[in-house]
A and B are shown apart, each in its own frame.
Chain A
Amino acid sequence: MTHLEQVLSDLKAELQEMAVLVQSQLKKSRSALMDLDKTLAKEVLHNEKRVNAMELKIDKMCENIVALYNPVANDMRTVFAYFKINSHLERMGDYAKNIAYNVIELPEPYSKGLMEKLELEKMFHIANEMINENVVALMTSNPSSAHEVFEMDTQLNLMHNKGIDIIVEEIKANTDKTRSLLELASIVRRLERVGDYNTNIAEEIIFCFEALVLKHKNTGTSND
């Protein structure tokens, strides 16, 4: 393993840790929302600082690699892909924080029935799974599981559209709860956005590794 490969692999490990951190933020904001657990929500707000610090750290690592190693070709693509993935993960962390913020501001819990109708639990689950697939793709350098992410994003989009319709109906029926229902709509929208960022990450991974696959094909034919 060359020195640069070593450094890139360290960077990848950091990125994985970042993904796990964001994942845990999302999980906690889900629990906070489902159980109206404001203490947990506050913990999410507190942890957001860690996410930001980590983003800065990974940014700095990418900068250093570019400045010190002048990577080219696939090494360069990898660094830029990691750089963007890092930023996407941070945005997801922001959404987890926003959801937690919503929870803190919430005067009373949403009804269990409504939340079940919106399949909020499932939306969180899918978002979580998307991160999982991306991490697996990243760590194994195999973009095939990243392809799954697009499928899941379509699912999330549908659930989001359906959810907005449901909330609109709900607002019509309970005009006195319009404000808190609008908050709920923004939670649904945020989950949908988490899906979009995961899609972006999947694209970066595919871009990064399929170029590698192309490279392998070329060396294969040149040996013939």
Chain B
Amino acid sequence: MAQIETKDLNFYYGQAQALRNINIAMEKNSVTAFIGPSGCGKSTLLRLFNRMNDLIDGSRIEGSVMIDGADIYARNVNVEDLRKKVGMVFQKPNPFPKSIFENVAYGLRVNGISSRSEIEGIVEASLQSAALWSEVKDKLNKSALQLSGGQQQRLCIARALAVAPSILLMDEPASALDPISTSKIEELIFELKKQYTIVIVTHSMQQAARVSDRTAFFYMGVMVEFDDTTTIFTNPKEERTLNYVTGRFG
């Protein structure tokens, strides 16, 4: 069974329809990339999966989003619990202006975990998973803002991992980073998919090609094509997809 699935999903910002009739299903432990030109709705769709759209005044949703078989927009759903299960990493690295340790521990404290040894263990494990431990283990009490952009982004990934989500949403996680940091993040995604289901929005087609198993191409709020990444990049079925991946428009 698919871990994330949408059925006839429509989404509106006020009067403007941002997503049209989206039906997509993503398997457990897979990496799915959303590509498409700016304003095509790919980030909007991503944010529906952890209900970050709740924060936008005047937005409206039709259809359903199922995670592990349950409709996350049902009345009895606790949004805070949902977001613990569905982690998110943002475009701009946004560690809190706190220490490295406190950044990773943040989600644990949100969850009411107060045992020092338990927190320390999870912080270390999360930093290990984010391939950052060896770089920061001697300066855990230093401010997170002293880290480089790439390290900050991996810290944000560690922070998201600390609350043990099963899904990780990434909104252009490498677009603000240099090529070396980008490739580190990409290698990390490749590692993380063993344990997490990952959905990544990216402007870089090469990035989608390198890291994802499946790729969905969006254009003007419509999902034009969704297929194996290999197929999308070697032999797409739709002409609009072909034009986009070959750089002929968009």
Interface residues of A (CB under 8 A from B): 2-4, 63-64, 67-70
Tell me, in angstroms, the Cα distance from A21 to B109 when the chains sit together: 59
Whether B234 contacts A63 by the Cβ 8 Å rule is yes
11 contacts between A and B (CB under 8 A): A2-B183, A3-B187, A3-B190, A4-B210, A63-B234, A64-B233, A67-B230, A67-B233, A67-B234, A69-B210, A70-B209
Tell me, in angstroms, the Cα distance from A70 to B187 when the chains sit together: 15
Specify which chain B residues have a CB less than 8 angstroms from the CB of A63 in the assembled complex: 234
Tally of contact residues, B, Cβ under 8 A: 12
Report B98-142 CB contacts with A as 1/0, cut-off 8 Å.
000000000000000000000000000000000000000000000
Interface hits, B189-213 → A, CB 8 Å: 190, 206, 209-211
Whether B210 contacts A3 by the Cβ 8 Å rule is yes
Identity of the chain A residue whose Cβ is nearest the Cβ of B209 in the assembled complex: A68
Interface hits, B166-204 → A, CB 8 Å: 183, 186-187, 190
- Given A2-B187, A3-B186: A64 touches B210 (CB 8 Å cut-off): no
Whether A68 contacts B187 by the Cβ 8 Å rule is no
Instruction: Determine chain B's interface SS by DSSP, over half rule.
Output: helix
Whether A67 contacts B209 by the Cβ 8 Å rule is yes
Specify which chain A residues have a CB less than 8 angstroms from the CB of B229 in the assembled complex: 68
Within the complex, what minimum Cβ distance (angstroms) separates B245 from chain A?
9
Identity of the chain B residue whose Cβ is nearest the Cβ of A7 in the assembled complex: B210
Specify which chain B residues have a CB less than 8 angstroms from the CB of A4 in the assembled complex: 210
- Given A69-B209, A70-B206: A64 touches B187 (CB 8 Å cut-off): no
Within the complex, what minimum Cβ distance (angstroms) separates B38 from chain A?
22
Specify which chain A residues have a CB less than 8 angstroms from the CB of B183 in the assembled complex: 2
Specify which chain A residues have a CB less than 8 angstroms from the CB of B206 in the assembled complex: 70
Specify which chain A residues have a CB less than 8 angstroms from the CB of B209 in the assembled complex: 67-70
Within the complex, what minimum Cβ distance (angstroms) separates A67 from chain B?
5
Within the complex, what minimum Cβ distance (angstroms) separates B212 from chain A?
9
8 closest residue pairs by CB, A with B: A68-B209, A67-B233, A3-B190, A67-B234, A64-B230, A68-B233, A70-B206, A69-B210
Specify which chain A residues have a CB less than 8 angstroms from the CB of B211 in the assembled complex: 3
Identity of the chain A residue whose Cβ is nearest the Cβ of B186 in the assembled complex: A3
Tell me, in angstroms, the Cα distance from A35 to B140 when the chains sit together: 75
Tell me, in angstroms, the Cα distance from A63 to B234 when the chains sit together: 8
Report B217-243 CB contacts with A as 1/0, cut-off 8 Å.
000000000000110011000000000
Specify which chain B residues have a CB less than 8 angstroms from the CB of A68 in the assembled complex: 209-210, 229-230, 233
Specify which chain B residues have a CB less than 8 angstroms from the CB of A64 in the assembled complex: 230, 233-234
Specify which chain A residues have a CB less than 8 angstroms from the CB of B230 in the assembled complex: 64, 67-68
List 15 other contacts, CB 8 Å, given A3-B186, A3-B190, A68-B210.
Answer: A2-B183, A2-B187, A3-B187, A3-B210, A3-B211, A63-B234, A64-B233, A64-B234, A67-B209, A67-B230, A68-B209, A68-B229, A68-B230, A68-B233, A69-B209
Specify which chain B residues have a CB less than 8 angstroms from the CB of A70 in the assembled complex: 206, 209
Within the complex, what minimum Cβ distance (angstroms) separates B31 from chain A?
11
Within the complex, what minimum Cβ distance (angstroms) separates A73 from chain B?
14
Specify which chain A residues have a CB less than 8 angstroms from the CB of B210 in the assembled complex: 3-4, 68-69
Specify which chain A residues have a CB less than 8 angstroms from the CB of B234 in the assembled complex: 63-64, 67
Specify which chain A residues have a CB less than 8 angstroms from the CB of B187 in the assembled complex: 2-3
Specify which chain B residues have a CB less than 8 angstroms from the CB of A67 in the assembled complex: 209, 230, 233-234
Tell me, in angstroms, the Cα distance from A211 to B120 when the chains sit together: 48
Interface hits, B26-57 → A, CB 8 Å: none
**Most B C-beta atoms less than 10 A away, residue of A64, A67, A68:** A68
Within the complex, what minimum Cβ distance (angstroms) separates B213 from chain A?
11
Identity of the chain A residue whose Cβ is nearest the Cβ of B211 in the assembled complex: A3
Tell me, in angstroms, the Cα distance from A111 to B51 when the chains sit together: 83
Report B56-98 CB contacts with A as 1/0, cut-off 8 Å.
0000000000000000000000000000000000000000000
Identity of the chain B residue whose Cβ is nearest the Cβ of A2 in the assembled complex: B187
Tell me, in angstroms, the Cα distance from A3 to B183 when the chains sit together: 10
Identity of the chain B residue whose Cβ is nearest the Cβ of A69 in the assembled complex: B210
Specify which chain B residues have a CB less than 8 angstroms from the CB of A69 in the assembled complex: 209-210
Specify which chain B residues have a CB less than 8 angstroms from the CB of A2 in the assembled complex: 183, 187
Within the complex, what minimum Cβ distance (angstroms) separates B110 from chain A?
33
